[in-house]
Structure 1
Amino acid sequence: MNAIGVFDSGYGGLTVLKEIVKGLPQYDYVYLGDNARAPYGNRSFETVYQYTLQAVKWFFDQGCPLVVLACNTASAKALRTIQQNDLPSLAPNNRVLGVIRPTTEVMGHYTQTKHIGILATSGTVSSESYVIESEKFFPEVKVHQQACPLWVPIIENGEAQTEGARFFIKKYVDQLKAQSSEIDTVLLACTHYPLIFDQIQNELPAGTKLLSQGSIVAGSLADYLNRHPEMECRLSQSGARQFYTTDDPGDFNRHASLFYGEGVGAGHVDLTRAIH
């Protein structure tokens, strides 16, 4: 099987995989969540890079010629180094893609005021990746960032509908709004956040556009495969889906349906053994 690999630090990337499968159901997919070492959001650049590189090597060992980092933190802290320093010697004909560039390529089209808000993990915010990449495509757009460090643990612990969750959703959205009254478009720059989409929308001013990454990334991947037939022809197309986690598969399966929309049966992987 020459599947498309989809990687995330935990469950969140399943929201991206769900949209990719919806748009490109014919391909085979292998999903890996590094739940044993999640969350990545507050880890150092070097640690995220090492963890992500281990995952990329594992995907290559499974025969995946194309890997999508469906994790914003991994895309921000590891993607460029892997593409520039590791791929040429590791597997020069394989490719690793992220979620930040395809998002920044289009997000400027949604704003009328030229002010966009970013809600993300602390790691993604500190990397400045959205600011840097947006500048390349929409230099006239001002990007306002807000870290939301408690949202991922709230979501993963099944607390998203509680009073405590509402407090922290309102807190971070209010902090973003305080940065500028001109923000008319807000991007959810973490793959977990679609699970609290409605609560976030309720805290935003009426008429504010709220963007989720899954459909954007899925459209970008379809475009990439159209433009790169040499990669597209290497991918197997039997509609197979495989799921793996670095933590307890039973626990992963119980949480995964929340993000993926249907049940999954995951296997276990020890990434520390994926180092060549």
Structure 2
Amino acid sequence: MNNSNAIGVFDSGYGGLTVFKSIIKELPDYNYIYLGDNARAPYGDHPYEIVYQYTLECVEWLFAQGCSLVILACNTASAKALRSIQQKVLPVKYPNHRVLGVIRPTAEVIGNYTTSQTIGVMGTRGTINSRSYPLEIEKFFPAVNVVQQSCPMWVPLIENNEHLTPGADHFVQKYLQELLSQAPNLDCILLACTHYPLLVPKLLEFLPEGIQLVSQGEIVASSLNTYLLNHPEIEAKLGRNEPPKFFTSGDATVFNARASLFFEENVASTQIKALQDR
């Protein structure tokens, strides 16, 4: 398969499509491959070793398709696998390849969104338990207080298209109240799961005034733009002007139907069984 050195975008399932959409909007000329590991999703409750194994397999699959730059558009994969891949795998096996995540670029700017110096982070259990966001945010904004809340029911609600129904109200209110009880003065909530932007209309129904919701798509897209400007040797090798390609380890028909909810366009994917059969 010749993909003319596309940028690879990976997620355990559908959520990364919200980031992918923002990347294409900001950087429309490059070639892209999106891979969703739907057959083995969700990653949020898996232990570190499993997330690392699955993520590395997907990254190496994208490398094999000609992607020399891969974006982990998944908070769980970024939290549990990115650093090990960058430090242990790339220098030894793929010295000319790069893998970037979503946590660091978010941490670099999130402190600019708060005046109360208190930020709430809402994500999957895997992301929250990793404490990646408090640790990274402290490096750039040491004065900012970070409180966290895991939201295990939000991804299933979104993927079953129930997230904007009255049935979602209980779990939206529950997790918001649990977060706000930790820090009533917070004025910024980071949606640290790429699924969660789809919940914004529902969140706004129950969110107190004066609290800003921050999604990651535009932040990651802007960071990628800056990265390519700072690394012209990588940017020069990237292919251009081919339509994006979509792949899933799950059922392509199911993926296509659900992906349009996240990508806001019709998606035609191809199923790959190399990951599913491992």
Give TM class, smaller chain.
over 0.9
User: Which 4+ runs in 1 deviate beyond 4 A?
Assistant: none
Q: What is residue 26 of structure 1 aligned with on the other side?
A: 29
Identity %: 57
Query: Would you say how many aligned residue pairs link Structure 1 and Structure 2?
Result: 275
TM superposition score normalised by structure 2: 0.97
Q: 1:229-266 CA deviation, whole Å, 9 max, x = no partner?
A: 01101100114200000000000000011000100110
Aligned mates of 1:38, 1:273 — CA distance in 2: 11
Alignment CA distance shift 1:135-1:244 (3 Å): same
CA contact (8 A) 1:155 1:192 kept: yes
Q: Is 1:132 the counterpart of 2:135 in the alignment?
A: yes
Q: 1:139-163 CA deviation, whole Å, 9 max, x = no partner?
A: 0000000000000011101111222
SS of 2:171's partner is helix
Aligned mates of 1:270, 1:89 — CA distance in 2: 27
Read off the aligned partner of 1:222 and give its amino acid letter.
N
Q: CA deviation at 1:273?
A: 8.2
Alignment CA distance shift 1:271-1:101 (3 Å): farther
Aligned alpha-carbon RMSD (Å) = 1.2
Aligned mates of 1:232, 1:246 — CA distance in 2: 28
Read off the aligned partner of 1:102 and give its amino acid letter.
P
Alignment CA distance shift 1:274-1:166 (3 Å): same
Q: What is residue 205 of structure 1 aligned with on the other side?
A: 208
Q: What is residue 104 of structure 2 aligned with on the other side?
A: 101
Q: CA deviation at 1:70?
A: 0.1
* Partner residue of 1:250 out of 248, 253, 256: 253
Read off the aligned partner of 2:133 and give its amino acid letter.
Y
Q: Is 1:262 the counterpart of 2:265 in the alignment?
A: yes
Aligned mates of 2:141, 2:191 — CA distance in 1: 18
TM superposition score normalised by structure 1: 0.98
Q: What is residue 85 of structure 1 aligned with on the other side?
A: 88
Unaligned runs of 5+ in 2: none
Q: 1:178-234 CA deviation, whole Å, 9 max, x = no partner?
A: 001110000000000011112112222102111000000000000000000011011
Aligned mates of 1:239, 1:136 — CA distance in 2: 38
* Partner residue of 1:155 out of 138, 155, 158: 158
Unaligned runs of 5+ in 1: none
Aligned mates of 2:213, 2:160 — CA distance in 1: 24
* Partner residue of 1:236 out of 234, 239, 242: 239
